Every structure is written in C-alpha cells, then in structure tokens.
C-alpha cells in the first residue's frame, strides 16, 4: 500500500459529507469524538435534533470556557448548551429512543466495517481495559447506521474488509460508509461504490479496499468544499 494519499478528505470534510444526508426533522445520534463534528455541518434550512445518550434531545454548541455547567454534558462528557425545544429524560427512556427504533440516524466511527455490514468499533482485542458504552445499542436501534472513517488505517491497511478481525460491535448493521476517499453503501452483503474522489482511480481505490467494490450504477464524484 504505497499509494499517495495526499489527495484525501480531512475529518471535517468527511463529517461535512455525512451531514449532507441528514434530512430536515431527523433525530440523530453522533458517536463520541470524530462523529461529533457532523453537527457543525448541518445544511442551511434543515433542522436536526441531536440525541445524547445520557439524556438530552436538542443539545447545541459547547459553552464558552468558564461557563460550563457540569450537569449539562453530552455522552462524551463534554459541556454543551441547549437549543430551544430541548428535553431531558432518564437513561432508560434515552435508550428506549435508541433501541425502540426512534432515532433516524446514528453516525459512528469504526476500526473495521465488513461488506456484510458488520461493525467493529469498540475493542482492539484482549489487551487493556474493555469499554463499550452505547455503541452496541445504537447499531441495532437507529433506523439508519452510518460510519465515518479514514479509508485505511494509519499503517495503510484497509478498514473496509470482507470480514472483521476485531471484536464485533454489531452484525449486519451498517448501511453506508463515508470514508476519506469514497461513499460506499452496503447492500445485500456487498460494498457498492456510490461516490469517489475524482483524483483517485477506481483501481487504486479498489486496491485500498479489503473487499470487492461493486458498481451497479453510476459512481459520482465526491466533491466537498475546503473547510
């Protein structure tokens, strides 16, 4: 894997692309860390309501430093503010929203995604202290589960694979992957390429992907603004 990946999307650009698919009126859960960036790129004129597992619907931006209220935090335990129309609820109600199929979209990070839609994003193996949080609930609860990720690992290994080698978060749960190079759907146990960066050839993209990329329809250019 020696391809020059200087032509790839930044994390912010991947988050921007994922945000374009969030409809007006959607209830959305964003995973801790990188996926939280998606909230910054809500398209103009669309109103989404963001869910935080600890018990908030409708949280907003981080408060200015020094104005944090530590009873008002998100799932990543960072201070947030509330948007008008926000609501608080207890943890079982919060996960009833997740597990009862009430969330429209969950956007998560990944170590690996398999062509079957299996996701590995919670454990890198038996070393260290395991921690799972709400990921296993989200992947089986939200109506649509999408992943945002680099296309390959820091060592250049594919993150889109035939079968996950790492411990699974969920089986057959992911339906769309936004990567630093492409937008790939998962349909009927295979990867379907929808968009790719114009600068990368299909063959190069395929060589960076651990399973066959199918192209049953047109592949659009993945075009994202400078951010």
Partner 1 sequence: MDKTLPSLTEAVAGIEDGAVVMVSGFGGSGAPIELMHALIDRFRATGSPGNLTVINNNAGNGQVGIAAMIEQGMVAKIICSFPRSANSRAFIEKYQAGEIALELVPQGTLAERIRAAGAGIPAFFTPTAYGTELAQGKQIQEFDGRPYVMERWLKADVALIKAELGDRMGNLTYRMAARNFAPIMAMAAARTIAQVSRIVAPGGIEPEAVITPGIFVDGVVAVAEPVQEEDLNRAEAHHP
* Catalytic (active-site) positions: 53
Q: How far is the CB of 173 from partner 1 (least distance, A)?
A: 9
141 binds partner 1 (CB under 8 A): yes
Rg of the chain on CA atoms, in Å: 18
Distance from C-alpha of 84 to C-alpha of 64, rounded to nearest angstrom: 18
- Taking the least distance from each CB to partner 1, the nearer of 19 and 106 is 106
With the C-alpha atoms ordered 197, 203, 207, 213, is the resulting torsion angle positive or negative?
positive
14 binds partner 1 (CB under 8 A): no
1 binds partner 1 (CB under 8 A): no
Q: How far is the CB of 65 from partner 1 (least distance, A)?
A: 12
The pattern of x and - marking residues 117 through 136 that bind partner 1 according to CB under 8 A reads -x----x-----xxxxxxxx
The pattern of x and - marking residues 53 through 82 that bind partner 1 according to CB under 8 A reads xxxx-----------xxxxxx---x-----
Distance from C-alpha of 227 to C-alpha of 220, rounded to nearest angstrom: 21
Q: Which residue has the tokens 């609930």?
A: 137
188 binds partner 1 (CB under 8 A): no
Q: Are 70 and 48 spatial neighbours (Cβ–Cβ below 8 Å)?
A: no
Is 95 buried (19+), middle (13-18) or exposed (0-12) by CB count in 10 A? middle
Distance from C-alpha of 27 to C-alpha of 57, rounded to nearest angstrom: 8
- Residue numbers at the binding site for partner 1 (CB under 8 A): 52-56, 68-73, 77, 88-92, 94-95, 98-99, 118, 123, 129-137, 140-141, 167-171
């Amino acid at each position: 894997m020696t391809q020059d990946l200087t032509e790839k999307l930044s994390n912010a650009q991947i988050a921007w692309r994922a945000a374009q698919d969030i409809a007006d009126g959607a209830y959305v859960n964003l995973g801790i860390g990188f996926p939280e960036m998606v909230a910054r790129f809500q398209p103009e004129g669309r109103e989404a309501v963001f869910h935080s597992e600890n018990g908030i619907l409708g949280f907003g931006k981080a408060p200015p430093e020094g104005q944090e209220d530590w009873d008002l935090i998100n799932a990543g335990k960072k201070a947030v503010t509330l948007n008008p129309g926000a609501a608080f609820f207890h943890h079982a109600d919060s996960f009833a929203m997740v597990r009862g199929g009430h969330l429209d979209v969950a956007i998560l990070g990944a170590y690996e995604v398999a062509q079957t839609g299996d996701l590995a994003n919670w454990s890198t193996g038996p070393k260290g202290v395991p921690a799972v949080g709400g990921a296993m609930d989200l992947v089986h609860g939200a109506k649509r589960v999408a992943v945002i990720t680099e296309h390959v690992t820091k060592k250049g290994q594919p993150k889109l694979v035939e079968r996950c080698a790492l411990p699974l978060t969920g089986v057959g749960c992911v339906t769309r992957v936004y990567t630093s190079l492409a937008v790939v759907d998962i349909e009927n146990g295979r990867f379907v390429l929808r968009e790719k960066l114009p600068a990368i050839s299909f063959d190069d993209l395929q060589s960076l992907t651990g399973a066959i990329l199918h192209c049953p329809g047109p592949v659009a250019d993945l075009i994202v603004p400078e951010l």
